[in-house]
Structure formats: structure tokens, C-alpha cells
Structure 1
Amino acid sequence: MRAALSDPAHALAPGCVASTFAQGQPVGLVAQGYADLADQRPLDGDSLFYAASVSKQFTALAAATLIAQGKLALDDDVRQYLPELPVYDAPITVGMLMHHTSGIRDSLGLLRMAGVSDVGTASKDDALDLLFRQQHTQFTPGTRYSYSNGGYLLLAEIVERVVGEAFADYARRAIFAPLGMERSFFLNDNSPAAGTFAHGYVPEGDGFALRDSFPRFSGSGGLMLSMNDLARYEYDIEQGHRVWTPEVTQIMLAPGRYTDGSLIDDGGGLAYGGGLHLGEKGGQAVVVHTGSAEAFKHAYLRLPDQHSAFAVLCNRGDWKATDRLKAVMAASDVRYPGMPLSSPEGLFHSSELNAYFRLTPSDDGIAVEVTSPFIAAPVVQHYEADDDGGFHHETMSITPTDNPDRLRLKRGTTAELTLTRVNQEAAQ
């Protein structure tokens, strides 16, 4: 597993903390890299990361605890709590905020449109002011799915107004303290204390530049989280049920629906519940969420039927956390849900393109050598395996079919063609 997190090009580099869980118990934790390059402070299980959008499930969980107590309802009109919002074409409900179907515009996007290049300098009131100024939603509330940091900022604000205390304080009292998550906390327009957290880094020259350019307010993000505390959270989901009670679990894991009753489609083959993408991938039930800021990349995935989970928290902006997670799972002999069962290989032909395609499996996909009369020499393209069961290169994809001698070749919405297996002599 350590190899999945290593950077052989740099002796001193930021990195990741990864963990695997079974039945809610950590069964493997690896930390690779540094939380602070200047002080050469290494990452470990207690390192605090800015969690970015992994925070959303904790915001939803805070709201779910109130819903379970009858102090809040998914069907409540949000203007009951946020009268500063304009009256839109249709009422927005608490559930719409939670499920990204409200049409509320993205608060971080609005800040950037207003000229704020570093959202870490903006306050919660700045972001709320922009949201309250929006005279229109992106679409009629409840009719579409559109991922919105603004919706989750408003959800946290509703929690704050219902309980009459700062959202960060309620999260500590209702979530972190009962679960023994002693180091984790939500930011409340303040920076974490120096020396207590993992800095974020991006590549610069031959090394890395510090980038702690994350928002200091909570809701859409704002959580400072350690892997050891995530283990305590995972234990409560599987065994403890102190916060993840049956009532709360139902709220968190029920897929949201549009106002016409149909299930939400997040555009990646899953629905959306309480701050979590959920559904089936490759025949497996999956619960997943990633988090991304300029210099922090995270991925968290649970396989409920197997009672297992996997997480990667990284403090470097040039790494894709999902790729690291896939490698960590592979090191544990677990296939990432939806990934192809095997890589096609051999020689294939398209009569419609008058071209041959020679497929050779690689570590993370397939190498495809294309030969046609339209190019002077064969071209080799790399197709990366993806969790939709296919292989992708830029805008093109190759997908297996039920017939091992037939593949689908597709380019965006332009064309979809069939590749047919041929023998070597056919290409000569």
C-alpha cells in the first residue's frame, strides 16, 4: 500500500494518509510524506487535513440529527429559517439543499466571480451575502441535480439557526464529542492553529509551494479531519450507532428524489443522499465522496455489503485522490467498484474507419495502437480504466460488450462504432 502513496522523484514531499477498514475497525494505515515541509513534520494518523467536500456528509449528519429529533424536516421551506432569501419560482426545501436539487448557485463560484481569487480570505458572511443577493436559481427547484457548495453553506446556516449556537459548536457537541473525534473540528471564520495541521502544497519548480487557500467557513467544506478520527466515525457507522442511529442512517442513505418522484442522477451513475453519492457500481452497493481544494485531494469509499471502507487524505494538489484510492484498494486485493473485470487485448478492426486497433493491457488500462491509411505511421494511445466498466482516452472510450470479440468505440456524442476481433493475417 505504501507504494501507492510514494513519490520517488522527491525526497521531501507532501503526500497522503491512507486507511482500510473492516467492520468499522482500521485494518491498515499508511502515512507517506510530510505535513510541513519547512519543519519536516511527517504525516501520521493524527494529522489534520482540510477535508474539503468530504465535509458535506458531516454537515448533512448535523442536519440529520435535528431531523431525527423532530426539530427540522426535509420538507421544510428553507425561507422558514432563511427569510433573507428571495421568493423563487418554487419553494426550496431542506431536502433540496441536502440533495443538490435546489438550484442554489455555488457560493465559491460566486466569490470567484466577484473577484476573490483566494476564497480562504472570504468570510461566511461574505458568502452568505452573495447567496442572499441571487434573485434567481439556476433552474426550477427540485427539477434537476447540480452540485452546489452554496446549498450546503445554507444547510449549515439552517442548523445554526435551529440550535441557536455556532454550527461548529453544535457539530462538536452532537457529532465529534460522542464519537471521540477529539482532534477534528469545523472552522468558524478562523484559521487552524499553526503547527496543528497538514499544510497544502502544489508543485513549483523542482519542489512544492505552500497553498493553504481553503475557505475558513463551514458547511460545504470547513472540516479539519484526521484519519484516526475518521476511523472513529467509521466505527459508529458499522457498530457504535451513537450518532448514526437507525433513524439518522435512513436520512443519510436514502437517495434523494426530484419533485416528480424520480431518483436523482448525479451524472456518474449514482444518486445522492446526505452528503454522499450512493447506489450501485458494477453490481456492488457503494457509498462514496471525494474532496478537492487547490492543494488537498481526498477520497472516501464504503462498500456496505462487504462492511468495508477505504480512505485517502492527501495534502498535495497535483495528485488525483481517486487514483490513489484505487491503488490502495488494489494493494488490498479489492477491485474498485465498476472497474473492468479484465482488459481486452488482441487485434480489432473497424470497417467504418478502415482502421486496425491493437490492444495491449497495461498497469492501469490498455495501450491501443491505431493503424489506418490516413496516418503515415501507427499511433499509440493510452486508455485508462474507469469505474463505468470501460477505458477512456481524452474524449474517446472503449467499452467491452457481452461478446469478447466485439468492443464499442465512442467519441463523445459524435459517433459510436463497433470494433471486431480479427487475426494477425487480416491486418497484413
Structure 2
Amino acid sequence: MYRIILLFLISFLLFMPLDAQKDMNSILSEKYASLTAEHLPGFYLGIIKYGNPIYSKAFGMANLEHFVPFSGRTVSDLGSVGKQLTVMGILQLKEEGKLNLDDEIHLHLSKLPALNEKVTIKHLIHHTSGIPDVYALHSLKGFRYGDHISQSDAYRFLEARPVVDFTPGSRYRYSNTGFMLLAEIIKEVSGRSFEAYLKEMVFSPLDMNQTFIMDVPGEIFTYMADSYVASSQGNYTKRYDNSTLQGGGGIYASGYDVLKWIDNFRTKKVGNEDSFQFMLTNAKLSTGETIDYAGGINVDQYRGIERYHHNGSSAGARTRLVFYPKHQLGFIVKSNTPSVGYSQFTEIENLIIDQYLNDFASKQKSNDNPEERLINNSVTPSADVYTGKYYNEAIDLTIHANIENGELQLSNFYYPLSSLQYQGDDKFSDNRNSAIFFKGKDDEIKGMIIETPRASGIEFLKRNE
């Protein structure tokens, strides 16, 4: 272990230009000077070029209680960055001749209830299956962030509501449920656990020895960071994710290990040419539209430079992985607090481009946090028309609807869900979620349809009491 770390440090000192290293260090050290304190969470940034680590530095603490600094060997939850590893597991099974990507998923999932449409493995990988996201359904049911969710919970939702929300392949909608099913396919086809298969076929060949999969709530790994969120008073509290859903997340890894995975885009030590061709090709919908999502990773251009990238979020952990294939340069940045999150990651990405790819990049920089469009509707909805209880039998859920201060307040038995503004024509929205009410022949409200970014067409009928 120490020999590997020593070689790592020597290599980035040899291959990194001293002026670039100095600039990166000075800019980041100045910008994140506050994180040198022992009472703040932190992050790690590692950059690799042509297989050589050219920058590696951590700021802040992995554990605040025991003053453990963040480092390149700190292990944390990668969140959805792990999806590309799941896809590589599926592609390894394809290379072994054990499945095809156009296979209907029921061929490899004996316990899955019959769905109303044909869904293929490829649909799951591209988020085009129409299967609603399990986290979205759980939130409607009243589950709070951090509540335990297991693989069996996701199956139960599919058993209760065995329908897809649109024709598979016709639309893109992000679904962790789909990647949970990919993990189940890996288990059933390989005859091994999801972790055992990925360890043998992906992690070990790349020497990713500090990469793990959490399949037991609260499982502890060596050098593991705690995750934290800041309170309104400015102090930090721990944030836990007790979900053990596999496939869509739950992969924990060190920064050093993720750099090894990034370099696999160059070496293709794991995965043959056909696998990478599929993994890095943008999906095309049945409408003919091409989307930015490929095989567990986004493929697009930023500032005129092609990149592969994905974000990850779990509890307080935030992660971003980026690789620029034409320049064989990539980076991993991961933190244990949303206080160092996606807006900071965008700043870091722009800094990396300015430092190493400036001759190839446009000066236009994106704003990942644009102001939302303000909804302004002068019409005040009638409380008598929409107020009431609405029930969905499939997921056994009652939602209460009330009009307060001109806005639709939705809540379940446990806590408020949304505050939506009136859009006219019996529709309420907050730019992300919406409730659309529908009427019967008597022109009375009979129910509403809930739409969220990850679940749509969930129909609730009004209860007459």
C-alpha cells in the first residue's frame, strides 16, 4: 500500500508542470483556505492525464469527531457515479455471452411481476424504460431522506404498480429503479452477489482494492468518511443514507481508486471495444431524438470539449467524475458535505480546463444554477374546488390537498409534500412537480395526476366524505 502511494506521489510530481501545479495549489488553497480548519468537512481532487496522476490534494476533514483529514485514500459513497460501474458489469456478462442488451428483462428476472410493456436491458441502462423511480414513490409515501430502502422494497412497488409510465424507448426519465434491476440481473445471471461479481470482473483487474458496495445498512469500510450537512446555525450534523439499493448507487471508493477507473477509459483493461462503443454512445429515442445519456454516463461537450461525466449524491456526500477523451485527461472530485457541492465542482472544472485545456476551450462557462422561471398567475384558485383527500389504491396512499394563500398544499399523513402555484386549467406546478386535476361528466373534480421529475402519471381519485 505505502509503495503504491509513494509511486503515485512521485508520478504526479514528475508529470505535472511546476507552474500549473503551483497555480492549482495557490488558487484552490486560497479559495478553500477555510477548510484547513479541523472543524469543517472537506473534499478530494485528483487529476489524471495519459495515465499519470498530475494533481492530488485534499482539503478539510473526513471525520470531525476524531480530526481525521480528508485524503486520496478516503472512502466515500460515489452516489450515481457508480452507475457506470454497474453498466460495465452488465457489459462483462454480454462479453461472456450470457445476455444481450436487447433481451427483455423478464428473461433474467424470474421474480419480476409482469409489466404492461416490453422493457429491455438497454432501456434500463439508458433511463428510457418508463419505470418510475423508487425514491420518488417513497417520498410520496411519506418516507424521509435517510429512511431504509432495500431491493425488496423496489420490487414491492413494481408488484403494486406493474405499469410503465410511457412506451419504453420513447422518452428519457432518470430511474434508480431501473439500475436496481440491472444489479438484480447481474446477480441472477452470474449466480453471485452484485458485489462479488463487480469485484472479480471490474474492481480487482483495475487494482481498485479500496472500493466496496454497501449491502448492509451502516456497513463500515476502512478509511471511510462520515458525511455532514450544515445547520442554519452554521454547525455540522451527520447525515446518513440507510438505503441499500444496489446498482444505482451504494458504491464506496477512494479517490485513488476512482482515478484508476477513469484511466480505464484510456487503457480499456476492463471492457472490450464493443463494450466501450456502446457505453460511450448517446442513446437514441424511438422518436429519433438523441439524448446526452449513454451507458451509465453522460456524453456531451462543454466549452467546446467532448467529455464523459456524471454526478453523484448520497446523504451528505457529493461526487463528480469527468473525462475528456481527446486529451486523455480526467478528474474526480468528491466531498462529504453539500457545502462543497455541484456549484463548487463546476468552478473546479472550469479551473482545470483553464489550466490544462485552455488552448482547446471556448471561454463560455455554464451556470449550473440558473434562476428558476418565476411563475406569476394572477388567478386565485378556489379552495372549495380542489380541497380534499385523494387516494391511489396501487401504492395505498392518501394525499391531502388544501389551498392556502392561493397555493396548492399537498401532504400525506406524515408531512407536507409540495407547495404548488396555480397555472390555470386545473394545473398546479413548482417547475419540478405538478398536480393536474381532472373532472367527470358532471364537471366536478374527480381526481388528480401527480407528475415529478422521476415519476409521472400517478393517478389519485378524490374521496367523497
Does the residue aligned with 1:135 lie in a helix, a strand or coil?
coil
Q: How far, CA to CA, are the matches of 1:195 and 1:242 in structure 2?
A: 26
Q: Does 1:147 align with 2:174?
A: yes
Instruction: Give the equivalent residue in structure 2 for 1:138.
Output: 165
Matches within 5 A, 1:235-314: 235-239=263-267, 241-260=268-287, 262-265=288-291, 271-314=292-335
Matches within 5 A, 1:159-308: 159-193=186-220, 196-204=223-231, 205-239=233-267, 241-260=268-287, 262-265=288-291, 271-308=292-329
Matches within 5 A, 1:23-422: 23-193=50-220, 196-204=223-231, 205-239=233-267, 241-260=268-287, 262-265=288-291, 271-327=292-348, 329-330=350-351, 333-334=355-356, 341=363, 385-386=365-366, 392-395=370-373
Q: TM-score, normalised by structure 2?
A: 0.69
For residue 86 of structure 1, report the CA deviation from its aligned partner: 4.0
Change (3 A) 1:286 1:194: closer
Is the Cα–Cα contact under 8 Å of residues 313 and 321 in structure 1 kept in the other structure? no
The amino acid of 2:98's aligned partner reads K
For residue 392 of structure 1, report the CA deviation from its aligned partner: 4.3
Is the Cα–Cα contact under 8 Å of residues 47 and 259 in structure 2 kept in the other structure? no
Q: How far, CA to CA, are the matches of 2:302 and 2:359 in structure 1?
A: 5
Is the Cα–Cα contact under 8 Å of residues 145 and 264 in structure 1 kept in the other structure? no
Extract unaligned runs of 5+ from structure 1: 266-270, 343-384, 397-411, 413-428
Does the residue aligned with 1:333 lie in a helix, a strand or coil?
helix
Is the Cα–Cα contact under 8 Å of residues 286 and 337 in structure 1 kept in the other structure? no
* Alignment RMSD (CA, Å): 2.7
Q: How far, CA to CA, are the matches of 1:287 and 1:222 in structure 2?
A: 21
* Number of residue equivalences: 346
Extract unaligned runs of 5+ from structure 2: 1-23, 375-430, 432-465
Q: How far, CA to CA, are the matches of 2:82 and 2:357 in structure 1?
A: 26
Instruction: Give the equivalent residue in structure 2 for 1:374.
Output: none
Change (3 A) 1:9 1:54: closer
For residue 321 of structure 1, report the CA deviation from its aligned partner: 2.8
| Greater CA drift, 114-123 or 32-41 | 114-123
Does the residue aligned with 2:355 lie in a helix, a strand or coil?
coil
Q: How far, CA to CA, are the matches of 2:177 and 2:275 in structure 1?
A: 23
For residue 64 of structure 1, report the CA deviation from its aligned partner: 1.0
Q: How far, CA to CA, are the matches of 2:320 and 2:31 in structure 1?
A: 13
For residue 142 of structure 1, report the CA deviation from its aligned partner: 1.1
| Greater CA drift, 327-336 or 72-81 | 327-336
For residue 37 of structure 1, report the CA deviation from its aligned partner: 0.3
Instruction: Give the equivalent residue in structure 1 for 2:416.
Output: none
Change (3 A) 1:322 1:253: farther
Q: Does 1:8 align with 2:34?
A: yes
Is the Cα–Cα contact under 8 Å of residues 218 and 242 in structure 2 kept in the other structure? no
The amino acid of 2:29's aligned partner reads A
Does the residue aligned with 1:157 lie in a helix, a strand or coil?
helix
The amino acid of 1:273's aligned partner reads A
Instruction: Give the equivalent residue in structure 1 for 2:411.
Output: none
The alignment-based identity, stated in percent, is 27
Is the Cα–Cα contact under 8 Å of residues 297 and 309 in structure 2 kept in the other structure? yes
Q: How far, CA to CA, are the matches of 1:79 and 1:309 in structure 2?
A: 37
Is the Cα–Cα contact under 8 Å of residues 178 and 243 in structure 1 kept in the other structure? yes
Q: TM-score, normalised by structure 1?
A: 0.74
For residue 69 of structure 1, report the CA deviation from its aligned partner: 2.0
Which digits, 9 at most, give the CA deviation of each residue in 1:119-152, with x for residues without a partner?
A: 4522222223223332221211111000111111
Change (3 A) 1:9 1:190: closer
Is the Cα–Cα contact under 8 Å of residues 120 and 216 in structure 1 kept in the other structure? no
For residue 323 of structure 1, report the CA deviation from its aligned partner: 2.7
The amino acid of 1:309's aligned partner reads G
Which digits, 9 at most, give the CA deviation of each residue in 1:332-370, with x for residues without a partner?
A: 61469999626xxxxxxxxxxxxxxxxxxxxxxxxxxxx
Is the Cα–Cα contact under 8 Å of residues 83 and 179 in structure 2 kept in the other structure? yes
For residue 19 of structure 1, report the CA deviation from its aligned partner: 1.1
Instruction: Give the equivalent residue in structure 1 for 2:381.
Output: none
The amino acid of 1:203's aligned partner reads A
Q: How far, CA to CA, are the matches of 1:9 and 1:169 in structure 2?
A: 37
Is the Cα–Cα contact under 8 Å of residues 129 and 169 in structure 2 kept in the other structure? yes
For residue 242 of structure 1, report the CA deviation from its aligned partner: 2.1
Q: How far, CA to CA, are the matches of 1:85 and 1:336 in structure 2?
A: 50
Q: How far, CA to CA, are the matches of 2:221 and 2:69 in structure 1?
A: 15
Does the residue aligned with 2:34 lie in a helix, a strand or coil?
coil
Change (3 A) 1:138 1:338: farther
Instruction: Give the equivalent residue in structure 1 for 2:438.
Output: none
For residue 101 of structure 1, report the CA deviation from its aligned partner: 0.3
Q: How far, CA to CA, are the matches of 1:339 and 1:392 in structure 2?
A: 22
